[in-house]
Amino acid sequence: MKTLIIIGGSGHGKVCADIAELMGYKEILFLDNDESLRECGGHRVVGHGDDISSFGPDAEYFVAIGNAETRAKVTARILEQGGRLATLVHTSAVVAGSTRLGEGSTVMAGAVINPDAVLGRGCIVNTAASVDHDCNIGDFVHVAVGAHLCGTVSVGEGTWIGAGATVSNNVSICEGVMLGAGAVVVRDITEPGTYVGVPARRI
């Protein structure tokens, strides 16, 4: 397979590189703004995060940056320069055949995405998280470790669903929400902000 360039040499990048190895990528290289960083997950860091254009048309790119706003900006820069985004799915993840998974997204180990779910560009479905049937997930959403979205949930762009959080079925969450770890959402969230608790309330 083609060379994979991962932007972001953090722990998240290390996990994404492991997924890429399992998918059969033979050459995995990192770009990172930390000039002291020499490797990540056993793979070389070969340049700065802005060095996207130097790898030619055969390379694919993956943005391994947790912050949604930064992930969106770097993704836009890759696409503006004609780069192609990889989509990474762990071999132990369960992804229904009718799922639509946006380019540049990742589905990590033990995650489950059920039929007719639609996920946008640059999403993260993290370790052991689940997205049930008919969910509609906007661009650059992060469903964190062990979080669960029940059926027919809608989540707006750039929202973070915290570790272990649960969103009840038929609930909509607007863009720009930070949902705290372990929170439980039982009604629509219509204003951006940070929400915590059971049931989730804005703070």
Give the CATH number of the domain where residue 137 resides. Answer: 2.160.10.10
CATH number of domain containing 62:
3.40.50.20
Q: Are residues 139 and 70 in the same domain?
A: no
Judge whether residue 57 has pLDDT over 90.
Answer: no
Q: Please identify every residue annotated as catalytic.
A: 133
Judge whether residue 53 has pLDDT over 80.
Answer: no
- Res 187: pLDDT: 97
Q: Are residues 8 and 95 in the same domain?
A: no
Q: DSSP of the chain, one letter per residue?
A: ---EEEE--SHHHHHHHHHHHHHT-S-EEEE-S-TT--EETTEEEEE-TT-GGGG-TT-EEEE--S-HHHHHHHHHHHHHTT-EE--EE-TT-EE-TT-EE-TT-EE-TT-EE-TT-EE-TT-EE-TT-EE-TT-EE-TT-EE-TT-EE-TT-EE-TT-EE-TT-EE-TT-EE-SSEEEPTT-EE-S-B-S-EEEETTTTEE-
What's the predicted TM-score (pTM) here?
Answer: 0.94
Instruction: State the pLDDT confidence band at 188, using cuts at 50, 70 and 90.
Output: very high
Q: Are residues 161 and 102 in the same domain?
A: yes
Mean pLDDT, the chain, as a whole number?
95
- Res 1: pLDDT: 59
- State pLDDT tens for residues 33-43: 998 889 999 99
Q: Are residues 16 and 58 in the same domain?
A: yes
Range from 42-56, 57-71, 81-95 carrying the lowest mean pLDDT: 42-56
From 42, 62, 86, give the residue that closes a domain: 86
Segment 45-65 mean pLDDT: 84
Q: Are residues 71 and 17 in the same domain?
A: yes
- State pLDDT tens for residues 117-170: 999 999 999 999 999 999 999 999 999 999 999 999 999 999 999 999 999 999
